[in-house]
Amino acid sequence: MLATTLTSSRIETRPNWAEVSLSALRHNFRVVQQHVGADVTICAVVKCNAYGHGVEECAPALEQAGAKWFGVTSTDEGVVLRECGVTGRILVLCGLYPGEEEEALRHSLTPAVFRLEQAESIARAAARLALAQRVAIHLKIDTGMARLGIPLTELEAFAEGVKRLPQIELEGVFSHLASSEVLDDEDTARQIERYEAALRTLANHRLHPPLRHLANSGAVAGRPNTWHNFVRPGLLLYGYEYAPSRHDGSPVTNVSALPLKPVLSWKTHILGLRDMPAGQPLGYGGAYVTPAPARIAAVSVGYGDGLSRKISVRNGHDPALCHIHPSVGHGEVLIRGQRSPIVGRVSMDLTLIDVTRIAGAAIGDEVVLIGRSGTEQISAWDMARCSDTVVYETLCNLSKRVPRRHAE
Ligand SMILES: Cc1ncc(COP(=O)(O)O)c(C=O)c1O
């Protein structure tokens, strides 16, 4: 049994909660640090409420484990970290919105920049605040993902411009890989080459940013040539890998999986239990009709909690005909250590489960959506596959109304 502490002050009446193991989180941080070696700094990516795990508890736990840097999306996420006592460096990965500069500097956040005007605005804010020290920034370069980042064609102008800003120190230069886990991906090889070329261009302008970073979790796991002296893993810290693969989809066998522990479990209860005759349509649209008499449990979870409606199960769903993934539409939960299928459409607050084969199933039984029950386990990746998405979305979608219970 996990000793749980309830971190939310609100009253919980609905049995639907996530258990977050801070010891597993700290373990994963140490596994990653050991993997990359002590000379490589880890920037623990805790954006989007620590991938749904609860940032106010997770970031301090990571700091305890030795994290010196944290990656967030925006200034407001960085301020939340400061308010919960994080003293380490905080990199704002998507940069600052115009007008936020003073707020970011007052909280000692480190902005990413991808346009010279951003660096100029930060320099003006630093002057207004009469800061004694130069403000460190990290330049984001677009090496091929075509999302955020300065194009290589504008790099020389940036380099000359930033040197004219005495308040600014170009501390870091980084880029993001589009397919880091696909080890034979040619576009990734080109991204890495462009990143190296960008470093050379900056060096030609006598700029040598000490922190160089490219690697997210996929690259941390399988591409040591991208580590430089700084890496930015998110997913690995929460206990999941995007298994390294090849372009044709085949797995890579010479990269060993890291000994990570999933950090989050998601649980609910059986709220109602009824015996249904054969031919009974279940739930919205009657999308599932009982083929034989069945015992059906209503459990307290729905898409309002973040359970994707795509996990709903219809009759006659043939995995062989599923064009997305054979498991899509084959959602399962664990009850009394056994796998039990979701039946019918997931609705906002309730989901139906066929418990005909679960001896003694009763109202109040624990239902595991993600996690272990007896010897069975459903991972967040399993749930993601059944919902036609990736584990990132499954974790981040866990909604606000699911209380997170953090256990040491
Ligand atoms: C810029 C950047 N770096 C690092 C990460 C962490 O990625 P991952 O969770 O795959 O490690 C992200 C996540 O989306 C990101 O946007």
Mutate to test the pocket of ligand 1, among 176, 220, 396 (most ligand atoms within 8 A of CB): 176
Task: Quickly name the fold that domain 22-238 has.
Answer: TIM Barrel (3.20.20)
3-state secondary structure of 89: strand
Domain extents for the chain? 22-238, 264-389
In whole angstroms, give the CA distance from residue 143 to residue 147: 10
- For tokens 């002296």, the residue is 229
Of ligand 1's listed atoms, the one at least distance from the Cα of 180 is 10
Assess whether the C-beta atom of 45 lies below 6 angstroms from ligand 1: yes
Residue 140 is among the residues annotated as catalytic for this protein: no
Cβ of 311 closer than 6 Å to ligand 1, yes or no, is no
Structure confidence by residue, pLDDT tens digits, 221-274: 999 999 999 999 999 999 999 777 777 777 776 667 899 999 999 999 999 999
Confidence bin at 1 (pLDDT 50/70/90): very low
User: pLDDT tens, 343-395?
Assistant: 999 999 999 999 999 999 999 999 999 999 999 999 999 999 989 899 999 99
Structural domain 264-389, CATH architecture: Beta Barrel (2.40)
Identical topology for domains 22-238 and 264-389 = no
Quote the pLDDT of residue 11. Answer: 67
CB environment 269-303: b (16+ within 10 A), e (fewer): bbbebeebeeebebbeeebbbbeeebbbbbbbbbb
Q: Which residue has the higher pLDDT, 177 or 285?
A: 177
pTM equals: 0.94
- Neighbour count for residue 157 (Cβ, 10 Å): 11
With vertex at residue 278, the alpha carbon angle to CA 274 and CA 280, rounded to the nearest 5 degrees, is: 65
One-character DSSP codes across 188-250: HHHHHHHHHHHHHHHHHTT---SEEEEE-HHHHHH-GGG-TTEE--SGGGGT-----B-TTSP
Query: Looking at residue 147, what DSSP letter applies?
Result: S
pLDDT score of 10 = 60
pLDDT for the residue 323: 45
Q: What pLDDT is recorded for position 5?
A: 44
Q: Tokens 């380490």 sit at which residue?
A: 88
DSSP 367: E
